[in-house]
C-alpha cells in the first residue's frame, strides 16, 4: 500500500515538473508506439497537459500546506499578525502625537 502511494506521489511530481514540450514529446512517442490516430494522439496530449496542470496545482497546494504547518510549529508570525501589530503601532503613535500637541 505504501509503495503504491509513493509511486503515485512520485508520478504526480514527475508530471507536475514536466514542461509542455516534454509532455507533447511524450504524447507523440506514446501515440506512435500505440499506433493511435492523429486525433487520438492530440487528445492524449491534451489529457496529459490537463493532468500536468492539475498535478502542479495539487503539488503547490500541498507544499503550501506543509510550509504553513512548519511555520506554525516554529511559531513564526504570519503576515496577518504583522499587519495587526503595524496597525496597533500606528494607532499608538497617533495617540502619542495627539497627546504631545496638548
Of 74 and 52, the structure prediction assigns the larger pLDDT to 74
Instruction: Report which of 2, 4, 3, 43 is spatially closest to residue 24, judged by C-alpha positions.
Output: 43
Mean pLDDT computed over 15-33: 72
As to burial, measured by CB atoms within 10 angstroms (0-12 exposed, 13-18 middle, 19+ buried), residue 36 is: middle
Rounded distance, CA 12 to CA 56, Å? Answer: 8
Instruction: Give 48-68 pLDDT, tens digit per residue.
Output: 778 878 877 887 888 888 888
Q: Could you tell me how many residues make up the chain?
A: 102
Amino acid at each position: 500500500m505504501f509503495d503504491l502511494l509513493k509511486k503515485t506521489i512520485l508520478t504526480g511530481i514527475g508530471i507536475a515538473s514536466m514542461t509542455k514540450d516534454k509532455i507533447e514529446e511524450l504524447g507523440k512517442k506514446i501515440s506512435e508506439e500505440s499506433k493511435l490516430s492523429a486525433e487520438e494522439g492530440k487528445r492524449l496530449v491534451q489529457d496529459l497537459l490537463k493532468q500536468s496542470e492539475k498535478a502542479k496545482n495539487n503539488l503547490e497546494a500541498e507544499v503550501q500546506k506543509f510550509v504553513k504547518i512548519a511555520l506554525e510549529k516554529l511559531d513564526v508570525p504570519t503576515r496577518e499578525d504583522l499587519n495587526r501589530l503595524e496597525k496597533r503601532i500606528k494607532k499608538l503613535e497617533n495617540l502619542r502625537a495627539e497627546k504631545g500637541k496638548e
